Amino acid sequence: MAVHTPNTIESLRIACAEKGWDGYDAEPMPEIVFKRAEAIRPYIPKIFELFPGGDGSLQWEWHEHRKNGHWDIIEVYPIHFYFTDNEDVDKEFTTPEEMITFLKEKYKCLDGRK
């Protein structure tokens, strides 16, 4: 049985360093994206997993019972925080703290899992 090993900022920094790292023609991931990820890492709940995007972004994702939370980190844009589920339209937040408060209050999903 395979064991799932979550991505880390450092493992993705290495894995996404060369052109075509995604099996297609993605450019190497910009260093600024990793620096931004390191800066907000302390605010990201442990239940979120980190994934690279072929567009040069990093994204922390959380999925549970048809609810999704995302932190997008893109080189040329500010950090983007949003949440979606099947009940609400997408919600956007200006800080990770706002998203965490929303998730705790509405879904109780982060209680005891940070």
Which residues of the chain fall below pLDDT 70? 1-5, 65-67, 75-90, 96, 103, 106-114
Query: Which residues lie across from 25 on neighbouring strands?
Result: none
**Count of structural domains within the chain:** 1
* 114 found inside a domain: no
Instruction: Kindly state whether residue 4 falls inside one of the protein's structural domains.
Output: no
In a domain, 3, yes or no: no
pLDDT digits (tens, 9 = 90+) for 92-108: 777 767 777 776 776 66
Residue 82 counted as domain residue: yes
pLDDT score for 47: 77
Q: What share of the chain is helix, strand, coil (3-state, %, to 5)?
A: 30, 25, 50
The answer to whether residue 1 sits within a structural domain is: no
**How many Cβ atoms are within 10 Å of 103's Cβ, its own excluded?**
20
| Domain-embedded: residue 84 | yes
Full domain range(s) for residue 71 = 9-107
